[in-house]
Structure 1
Amino acid sequence: MAGTVQWIAESVQEILQISGLTLQTFLVLCATFLLAYVVFKRPRNLPPYPAGRVPVLGHILALGRAPHLKLTAWRRQYGDVFTVRLGMEDVVVLNGYTAVKDALVDRSELFASRAPHYLFDVMSDFGKDIVGARWGPGFRQRKKFITAALRNLGMKVGTGSIEENIREEASCLRNRLLM
C-alpha cells in the first residue's frame, strides 16, 4: 500500500516537471474541475431536458418573451413531464390533468414540502418554526401544537370565540378614526 502511494506521488511529480506545472497550479486546476463537476452535474432521476441549455442561465434565453408558447412546444416534443433549467435550478414542468393529479393528489406526500430558500436558510434558524419548516413529522407536530394553543386561547369558531371582542374593538377604532 505504501509503495503504491509513493509510486503515485512520484508519477505526479514527474508529470508536473515534464509539463512545467507547479503543484499549486495542478491543485487549483483539480479543484476547479471538481467544482465545475459538482455545480453543473445533472441529477439522474429527472425527466428529460429540452436542448439549448446555457451554463448558469439554463433555458431562460430559450424561453424568450412568450414562455408559455415555448413550454407548449416543448410539451409536444417531450411529453407531459419534462425538466427546464431556470438559472441554476432544475424545475420539473407538469402538463395535463393526469400528470398534475398524479403528482399533487396521488403522491401528495412527495410534493407537500416548501421549496428551499437558500438566503432565508442562511439568515435564520430555518426549519425550527412553523413558517419555515419543511413538510414532515416535525411540521405536523408543530402545527398540531400551535392549533391547540390558539384554540385554548380563544381562537375558535362559534360560541366562546373572541371574534365578537375583535369586532367590537374594530368598531370602536373605526368610530374613533371618523371623529
Structure 2
Amino acid sequence: MAVVVSWITVSIQEMLQISGLSVQSFLVFCLFFLLAYLLLKRRRNLPPYPEGRVPVLGHLLALRRATHLKLKAWRRQYGDVFTVRMGMNDVVVLNGYTAVKDALVNRSELFASRPSNYLLDVMVGFGKDIVGAHWGTGFRQRKMFATTVFRKLGMKVGRGSIEDKILEEANCLPNRVR
C-alpha cells in the first residue's frame, strides 16, 4: 500500500514539473473545481429544467423581459411543474389549478415554511424570530405568543384599546426626531 501511495505522489510531482505548476497551485486548482462542482451540480428530485441555464446566473438572462411569456412557453414545453434556476437557487414553478391545489392543500406541510435567508439569519439568529422561522412547533408557539401579547396590549377594538395613545405618540414622533 505504501509503495502505491509513494508511486502516486512521485507521478503527480513529475506531471507538475512537466506542466510547470507548483503543488500549491495544483491544490488551489483542484479546490476551485471541487467547489464549482458542488455549487453548480443539479439537485436530485427536482422537476425538469428548461434549457439555456448559465452557471452562476441561472435562467435570469432568459427572464429579463416578458417573464410571464417565457414562463408560459416553458409551461407548454415542460408541463405544469418545472424548475427555474434564479441565480444560485432553484425555484419550482407551479402552473394550473390542479398543481397549485395539490401543493398548497394536499401537501401543505411541505410548502408551509419560508426559504432561508442568510442575511436575516445572521442579523436575528437562525430560527429565533417569527419572520424567518421554519414551520413547526416552535413557529406555532411564537405566533401564538405574539398574537396573545398584541391582543393584551391593545390591538383589540373598542374600549380598553390603546390605539389613541399609539396615534398620539406617532404624531409626536416627527417633532422629537427633528
TM-score (norm 1): 0.81
Tell whether the 8 Å contact from 2:56 to 2:88 is kept in structure 1 after alignment. yes
> Residue 91 of structure 2: SS of its match in structure 1?
strand
Deviates more, 1:18-27 or 1:79-88: 18-27
Alignment of 1:55-134 (within 5 A): 55-134=55-134
- The 2-side partners of 1:112 and 1:100 are apart by 13
Note the alpha carbon deviations across 1:59-102, whole angstroms, 9 max, x for none: 12212421111111110000000011122221111000000011
Contact 2:155 2:163 (8 Å CA) reproduced: no
In 2: Cα distance, 1:19 partner to 1:52 partner: 35
Residue equivalent to 1:146: 146
- Residue 9 of structure 2 aligns with an amino acid whose one-letter code is A
1:166 aligns to 2:168 (yes or no): no
> Within 2, Cα distance between the matches of 1:33 and 1:69?
36
Give the % identical residues: 66
Q: Is the deviation greater in 63-72 or in 141-150?
A: 141-150
Aligned position for 1:20: 20
Change in CA separation of 1:5 and 1:123 when aligned onto 2, cut-off 3 Å: farther
Shift of residue 38, structure 1, vs aligned partner: 1.4
* Equivalent-residue separation in structure 2 for 1:172 and 1:93 (angstroms): 46
Closer/same/farther in 2, CA of residues 74 and 2 from structure 1, 3 Å limit: same
Contact 2:117 2:132 in 1 (8 A): no
Distance 1:157-1:166 versus aligned 2 partners, 3 A rule: closer
With the length of structure 2 as denominator, give the TM-score of the two structures.
0.81
- Structure 2 residue runs of 5 or longer lacking an equivalent are 173-178
Structure 1: unaligned runs, 5 residues or longer? none
